[in-house]
Structures are given as structure tokens and as C-alpha cells.
Structure 1
Amino acid sequence: MAARQQAPEGHDPIAALRSGLDAHGADGLLITNPVNIRYLTGFNGHTSALLVLPDHAYLVTDGINEEQAHERKRSSSSRFEVRIAERPSDPEPLASLVRERLTRTQQPGGRLGLEADHVTWAHQQRFATSWFPGAALVPTVGVVERLRSVKDESELATILRAAEVSLAALDEAYALLADEPTELEVAQRIVTVLRDCGAEQASPPIVAGGPNSSRPHHWPTGRRVAAGEPAVLDVAATVDGYCCELSRSRGGKGSQRLREIPGIVEAALQAGVARIKPGAPANEVDDGCRGLIEARGYGPQFIHAAGRSIGLHLVEEPKLTADSEAILEARQVFVVEPGIYLPGEGGSRHSALVLVTEDGHRVLATGERR
């Protein structure tokens, strides 16, 4: 994958992160989640850590990544230094930086934040006893992820490119259904289109025909998708590290329920999208989708959340769930994707890629390419 695109001039996500550390009870933050390291520096090598201290930031990696690390330092809008460890498990570069820059300058002893969702119990014990014995270790949750949720112009442009690739793959896959192919044949066509467009898979394609379309995360099989059967296609493309996932459904013959659910799902999508605006609770988007589906008698058959934010990862915070406490902000990007699934018969799922604007929202793409 390519590195994170250059941020607008003057935008330094590490500086933005540093300014909010005190609110999280930390003087410094050790970042070990590779996606967060990539967001802050553009560096996507393995066996690395980013140490953000009150006055400096240090990217620590091993010799395998040395050239790439220095290259990212030169091109990144963030300011950080590079330190090279002799081996991935060598604690000395990080330990000495914490000892010299944090525990000796902060009182009492320095508070070092850890990414609680990414640090294992074994790592925490090692950090406390042998790596950073003089620091007070503080668990933090979602510090970088909150910054990632608001996209800059470069990120938006890259997500739009991923959307176009996803739509190109959906177009070819949907056209192929006329030949009554197997699910695996359609999935292979999707993978080929992504590769030919210079993209990668953010997740394997979903191709579900007939009764298989009642399974939201169905894995393609050798079963043929017959004419007149419902079908659900789902493509998740990654371009320069940024993701977009879109779904497209074909209605099917059969019961009255099977024939009517595509229209209900489309109406639910529009109802959910209509509630997207700055300051709106995220759970209201779910309520918009779910309320309409429930009113039509299919509430129990809508078995997943209404959507979620996307970016460097296919599933990011905030999520559009019934129990979410998040408040939507301008420049967040969401995939909204209601669905109805009838076990043994089939299903339907429609999706839209939506940007929260300063005064409402803008639909960037839909799986149906309206």
C-alpha cells in the first residue's frame, strides 16, 4: 500500500494529538496500533512504535524499515524524529526516550498513555516492569481514532477514488449475473477489477445468490446465481490505504415478502441518510433506518447496525448503532447500509457513502450508482 496522502500545508496531526493529551490524563502517548501510526506519520512498516512526548515525537522501528522511515519523515506534514532499534524486541530506544524526556522532566515521574485497545496484558506487564519502570502507565481509548474520524481534503479525495473503484467492480459483477455464473466466478471478477484499477481488497467480496443472500457476510461458493433469484453484492476497495465499501442488490421472484423488501430497504436508506448532520446523535441514523423497516413489519430481519465511519480501516468510530452515544461532526464519512434478510428465501442490502457537511450532508456515492 502507498503511504497516507500528504495533508494540507500546516496540518500536523501529531501536534493536534499532543494538544489533547492532558485531557486523557497523560503527559505522553505510546502508539502501537499500526493504523494509528500510519495516520500520524504516513509510515506503514511493521514492528514500529510512535512515542509522542510534550515537546517531541519519535518513530521507533528496526533497520529493515530505516530507509522508509526517513523517507516518510521527509514527506510527512507531521514533525517527528526517527530512532532505529537493533531488533524489534529491543526496549532501549523507547526506554531511554521515556527516561530522559518524560520521567525526568514531568512530575511526578511522568504519565505515559498506552493504547488500551491494542496493548496486550503481556505487553503492559513488560512495559511496567522492564521498559518504563519510572513512568505511571495510563490506559487511553480512542485518542487517535477521534482525530481519524474527521477527514481532510486529501483523505476525502482518496476515499472517493476507492468508491469509484468499488463501483466499477460492482458494475462488472452485476452485469456478469446475466450469465448465471457461480458466486465464486463473480467474486473472482471483482478481485480482478480491483487489481486492474491498482486497488486492494479491504475485505473479501460478498457474492450471495438466492437463499444465500439472507446471510449478510456470506462467503462465495460454487453455487450458480440463477436468473430471477435475489442477489447481494458487496465490494470493499482500498486505495492508498483508504477504504470504501458499497453494496448492490438484485431483487428476486418468489414470495410477496421477497419481492417487496428491496423497496423497503431503499426507503430505509433514504430515511437514515436524511438524519445525518453535524450535532445529530449517531443513534438517530440507525433509528431512521430501523424505524422504517420496523414499521413495515421487518424489524427482526434487520440484524446489523445501520452503518459506520470508514477511513484507513473499513470499520471505524463512530458507528451508527442503536446504542451509540457519539455525536456526528462535519467532515466525518459514513457508509449507511440497511438490509432485510429472510432466512431460506433471500435478502436485500442497499448502501450509500455519505459526508457530513457543515450544514447537513452530501451523498458521495451509492451502491446502485444513481
Structure 2
Amino acid sequence: MSRRHAARVAAVRRAMAQEGIDVLVLRPSPDFRFLSASPEGPLPEGAFPEGVLPEDAGPGVFLVVTADAIVETRDPAGLVPASARRVGVDPEMRAAELFRLAIAAELVPASAVLAPLRLRKDPAELTAVGRAVAAAEAVLAQAAELAWFGATERAMARRLRLLALESGCEEVISLRVSAGEHTARPEHVPGGRVINPGDALLVSVCGRWDGYCAEAGRVFAVAEPPEDYEAMYSVVLAAHRAALAALRPSVPFAELVRTVHEVIDASGYGRFAAPHVGRGVGLGHDEGPRAGENAVFAPGMTVCLEPAIYVPDLFGARVADVVACTAAEPVPLGTRPHTLHVLDR
């Protein structure tokens, strides 16, 4: 067991004791990867009790953590001590998996232990998130060179998925390709709409590279932007700059949200502003810190800033960038500019 991983396990056990949790049972998930040292690889043989060997992570494999053992197994119920009174289970545990545990102990979410520990990334994790951001931005850079005119949203989404997978993406979590009036729909799924000159485009890719997640989202226009679009987009960029300036240690997430909305309200687009302006990213694509949890920024947190404006039946604009909170100043982990890129094909 590496020194880094040993410290992480020790911190988890201290948190378990504070929460009165005797055992953790985790399925393959961000929490599993955090505690099993993935993506560095499976736990070394020496980390297991005598006679117990690690198994390949995958469907049906669980991680069980007690006060004196940490084991990857296909039979978690057999490793939960009969004396256990409270068992922390993975928030992503499936109903069938919970039934198979068949234990009498009280089951509680393992996130009470693991979520606070995953908030602040160590230097190695920050580097890993940065690599994921670079990969996501590289997909967008290739997207800007594709022929969009005459293609459908669905076809372009498929091309982006292929580009992401070719970049080494382990899991494509979400892809957004919205054209024209569809850019005003936050939950739009790419469909059969044909992309034409004069259309605005919202394009984003969110995926996992080497265990860590990132998202990059940008705005394009085909041939020329729609009337008034650049003015609206400039407001989104101003909101993004305000969010970046507000992302400082000891600042509540709610203050960042208020700052973004003040900028958009002052522009006259207030009623069209997206309420959601950001989320934490790391081993998961949507993790802490979160605005609704009274979160306060601290060094080591990585946040996807994503202010947006959606004008119904007309158009919308959104940018997405991953930023690290540091003791000195916020550090954008990407380098791709926010310029409204006008596609010539």
C-alpha cells in the first residue's frame, strides 16, 4: 500500500468512527475508485488479509472496509462482521445488490464518510483532472474542424462520441449538440434537426479519462451568428468571468451563484438565466462542492463553471470550464478560448 493510499484509508477509518459506521460496502463507483486507489490500479496483495486475493474490478466486485481490513470481493456479505451495527453502503448500490447483502445491520449512505474526503484534491488528483480537461478540450478542438452544415445533431453527436473514445475516454458521460432554437433547451437530446447556416450551436463533451472526469463546453455559429446572439453571449462570458473571480477560499458557493445572477440580471436577461451555475468534478462528473449543500470553497476543490442563458424558442448560450480553487487564486485547468467560433462549413 502506498503512503498516499495508506493516509487516505486512515482518514476514512477516522471518519467512519466519527459517524459510528462499522463497515463500508462499495460497488464500482467514484467512491470505490477513491478508496481502492483506482485509477492507480488494484490494491497490492499485501493490503489484503492472509489468504484473500484482489479480484479484477468490474461488475459484481465490491470493496469492503472495516477497522482492520480493506478487501475487494464478490461476496461482501461474508466479510461484514456479525457485530456490525451500522454499515455504510455505496450511494450507487443497486436494489438487487442491497438485497443480496442480507445483513441485519442498519444501512446508511457511505457518502457521509467519503463525500467530505473527496472534496479537496491532492496534487496528483489535480494533475489527473487537468489531463482529463485537456482531453475534453482536444475533442472540442477537433469538433471545430468538422463539417457541420447539412448534418443532423444526432450525426454530429455520434462523431463527437467517436472522437472522445479515440482520445482514450473510458466513459462518455454526456454529449451535447444543440442547434438553432434547440440551444434554448437545457435538457435537449441530439435529434434529427439539420444544422443550417445562421444556426447557433452548443457543443459540450463530458467524460472520464484515466479515472477522472471533466467537461468542456463551447458555443459555435454556422456561417454567421443569429441576430443579437453575440450580445447575449457576451453576457454569459461576463457571468463566467464573475464566477471565476468569486471562486476563492472561504467563499460560499451560494455567493458565487448570487454573483453570476447579478451580472445576468443587470443585462436584462435575468429571467432567462439558468439557475445552475456550476458543480464539483473529480472521480465523479457531478460531486461536491454543490451550491445547495452550504458548501464553502477551499483549496484543492475542482469546479465546473457553467453559467448559461436560455431564451425560449430563440437561442441559448453556455460555456463549461473546470477550475481549481487554490490558496492564491482560481486556476482554470483548460486553455481553450471562449471566442464565439464561426464555422465556415
Category of TM-score, reference length = shorter chain: 0.7 to 0.9
Maintained 8 Å contact 1:167/1:369? no
Q: TM (normalized to structure 1)?
A: 0.77
Kept in 2: contact 1:26–1:113 (CA 8 A)? yes
Other-structure match for 1:113:
87
1:284 aligns with 255
Structure 1 letter corresponding to 2:14:
S
Using the alignment, how far apart are the partners of 2:141 and 2:277 within structure 1? 24
Please state whether the residue corresponding to 2:288 is helix, strand or coil.
strand
Q: Distance in 2 between matches of 1:139 and 1:159?
A: 26
- Amino acid of the structure 2 residue aligned with 1:15: A
The alpha-carbon deviation at position 316 of structure 1 amounts to 0.9
The question of 1:56 aligning with 2:69 is answered yes
Letter in 1 for 2:35: L
Question: Which residue, out of 6, 9, 12, partners 1:17?
Answer: 12
Within 1, Cα distance between the matches of 2:126 and 2:141? 22
Residues 1:342 and 2:311 aligned together? yes
Q: Which amino acid aligns with 2:32?
A: I
Q: Secondary structure at the match of 2:333?
A: strand
Question: Could you say which residue in structure 2 is the equivalent of 1:79?
Answer: none
Secondary structure of 1:58's counterpart equals strand
Q: Deviations over 1:193-250 (max 9, x none)?
A: 2122222443232111111111123222232222222111011132112111111012
Q: Which amino acid aligns with 1:45?
A: G
Matches within 5 A, 1:1-370: 9=4, 11-32=6-27, 34-41=29-36, 42=38, 43=42, 44-61=57-74, 85=75, 91=77, 93-95=78-80, 98-99=81-82, 103=83, 110-115=84-89, 117-118=91-92, 131-133=102-104, 135=105, 137-138=107-108, 141-176=111-146, 179-250=149-220, 253-256=225-228, 258-319=229-290, 321=291, 323-365=292-334, 368=337
SS at match of 2:144: helix
Distance change (3 Å), C-alpha of 1:188 and 1:118: closer
How far has the Cα of 1:36 moved from its partner?
A: 1.2
In the superposition, the TM-score normalised over structure 2's length comes to 0.82
CA shift, 1:315, in A, is 0.8
For the residues of structure 2 that align with 1:226 and 1:7, how far apart are their CA atoms?
54
Q: Over residues 107-159 of structure 1, what are the superposed CA-to-partner deviations in whole Å (9 max), with x where a residue is unaligned?
A: xxx432323744567766775xxx434x5555554321222222223322222
Indicate conservation of the 8 Å contact 2:26/2:93, yes or no.
no
Residue 12 of structure 2 aligns with an amino acid whose one-letter code is L
2:21–2:88: 8 Å Cα contact kept in structure 1? Answer: no
Query: Are the counterparts in 1 of residues 248 and 297 from structure 2 also a CA contact under 8 Å?
Result: yes
Percent identical among aligned pairs is 27
For the structure 1 residues 197 and 126, does the alpha-carbon distance in structure 2 shift closer, same or farther, using more than 3 Å as the test?
closer
For the residues of structure 2 that align with 1:210 and 1:115, how far apart are their CA atoms? 44
What's the CA shift string for 1:30-80, capped at 9, x where partnerless?
33463312221125422233222222222222xxxxxxxxxxxxxxxxxxx
Shift of the 191–116 alpha-carbon distance from structure 1 to 2, 3 Å rule, reads: closer
Note if contact 2:129-2:212 (Cα within 8 Å) is conserved in structure 1.
Answer: yes
Once the two structures are superposed, residues 319-343 of structure 1 have per-residue CA deviations (whole angstroms, 9 ceiling, x without a partner) of 2x3x340111211111100011111
How big is the shift at 1:255? 4.2
Relative to structure 1, is the Cα distance of residues 29 and 212 closer, same or farther in structure 2, using a 3 angstrom cutoff?
Answer: same
The 3 A distance-change label for structure 1 pair 192 and 7 is farther
* CA distance 1:8–1:367, change in 2 (3 Å): farther
Read off the aligned partner of 1:145 and give its amino acid letter. Answer: A
Contact 2:31 2:90 in 1 (8 A): no
**5+ residue gaps, structure 1:** 1-5, 62-84, 104-109
Q: Measured at CA, do residues 369 and 341 of structure 1 come closer, stay the same or move farther in structure 2, by a change above 3 Å?
A: closer
Give the 3 Å change call, closer, same or farther, for CA 201–217 of structure 1 in structure 2: farther
Q: Tell me the alpha carbon deviations over residues 150-183 of structure 1, each in whole angstroms, 9 at most, x when there is no partner.
A: 2223322222222122112112222325645322
The one-letter amino acid paired with 2:264 is I
- Partners of 2:28 and 2:112 lie apart in 1 by 11
Count of residues in Structure 1 that have an aligned counterpart in Structure 2:
319
Distance 1:166 1:295, change over 3 A: same
What are the ranges of 5 or more consecutive residues in structure 2 without an aligned counterpart?
Answer: 43-56, 340-345
Distance in 2, matches of 1:241 and 1:26, equals 27
Mapped contact 1:172–1:189 kept (Cα < 8 A):
no
Cα displacement (A) at 1:7: 7.1
Q: Distance in 1 between matches of 2:196 and 2:338?
A: 23
* Structure with the larger RCO, 1 or 2 (CA within 8 Å, 6+ apart): 2
Q: Identify if the C-alpha distance between structure 1 residues 177 and 307 changes in structure 2 by more than 3 Å, giving closer, same or farther.
A: farther
- C-alpha change, 1:8 and 1:152, in structure 2 (3 Å) is farther
| Root-mean-square deviation (Å) | 2.7
